[in-house]
Amino acid sequence: MLEVKDLNHWYTTEADALYENVHLSFEPGKLYAILGSSGSGKTTFVSLISGLDLPKKGDVYYDGTSIKKIGLSKFRNRYVSIVFQSYNLLPYMSALENIVSAMDITQSKQQDRKKYALSMLEKVGITEELAKKNVQKLSGGQQQRVAIVRAMCCDANLVVADEPTGNLDEQNSKEIIELFKQLAHEQKKTVIVITHEKEIARECDIVLELKNKKFNVIKENKTYKNEPEDY
C-alpha cells in the first residue's frame, strides 16, 4: 500500500537530517504505531507520507506509484485520510457538516453520507445534538473525536493519525483504538498512528521506534523484540 525508499529529510543542513536512508513498507489490513521522543521527527514523517511535504531525498510510493507522479493534491484528496494533532476542522461548520463535506470531496461510496456520519459519531460518544453544533462550541476532546471520525468516514485506504488520543481520557482512547483496529482488520485499510503512549502502541500489530534517524521494528505479529522506551 505505502512504501518509503531511501528517505532523507532535513530542515537546515543535511548534517542535521531527521532521517537517513529510510526504507519502510506499510501493508493493508495492519495497524501500525510509530513511537519516538519529542523532536525526533514523527510529525514531519506524517507530512511526508501524507503528501503535505516532499522529502529532500528519496521518495514515497502509494500502490507502487510515486506520490509525486500521482500529484500531491490528488493523493491527499483521494488516497489518504489524515487526523491532525490540531484537528483542522472548518470552524464555520458543524461537526456533521465537516464530516459530510470531507466525504463529498473524497467521493465516498456511502449512499446516505449524513446517516453514516451520524452513526460513526455515535460510536465515539458524539450525539446527533452535538453533531449539529458548530465545532467551536465543542470541547477539545470532542473536536478530536470529530476529526478522527472525519478520517474514518472517507473512502481512503490509507489513514494516518498524529497523536489521535492526546486529548482523550483512557476510556475514549481505548474506543478510538478499537475503531482503528476495525478499519485495519475488517476494512483492510493501512492505518498508521503516531503516538508517544506505550499503551496505545501495545494495541497495534506493528510498532516502529524512531531513534537515531532510523525506524526500528520493536514489535511485530504481537511479539516485542524490544520494550518501548518511556517518552
Q: What secondary structure letter does DSSP report for 230?
A: P
Total domains in the fold of the chain: 1
Separation between Cα atoms, residue 87 and residue 141, nearest integer Å: 10
Q: What is the pTM of this model?
A: 0.83
Does the residue 98 lie in any domain? yes
Question: Which amino acid, one-letter code, is at 100?
Answer: V
Asked whether residue 97 is assigned to any structural domain, the reply reads yes
Per-residue pLDDT of the chain (231 residues; tens, 9 = 90+): 899 999 998 888 888 888 889 999 999 999 999 988 887 888 898 899 999 999 989 999 999 999 999 999 899 888 888 887 777 888 999 999 999 998 888 878 888 999 999 998 998 889 999 999 999 999 888 888 898 888 888 878 899 988 887 767 777 778 778 888 888 998 899 999 998 888 888 889 999 988 888 888 887 766 656 666 655
Please state the φ and ψ torsions of residue 16, each to the nearest 5 degrees.
-100, 30
* Phi/psi-derived region of residue 71, left when phi > 0, alpha when psi is between -120 and 50, beta in every other case: left
Has residue 133 been placed in a domain?
Answer: yes
Residue 229 lies in a domain: no
Identify whether 231 is part of a domain: no
CA angle (173 as vertex; 165, 102 as ends), nearest 5: 60
CATH number of residue 57's parent domain: 3.40.50.300
Burial class (CB in 10 A: 0-12, 13-18, 19+), 5: middle
Q: Provide the residue range defining the domain that includes 85.
A: 2-222
Q: Which has the closest alpha carbon to 191: 152, 148, 158, 155?
A: 158
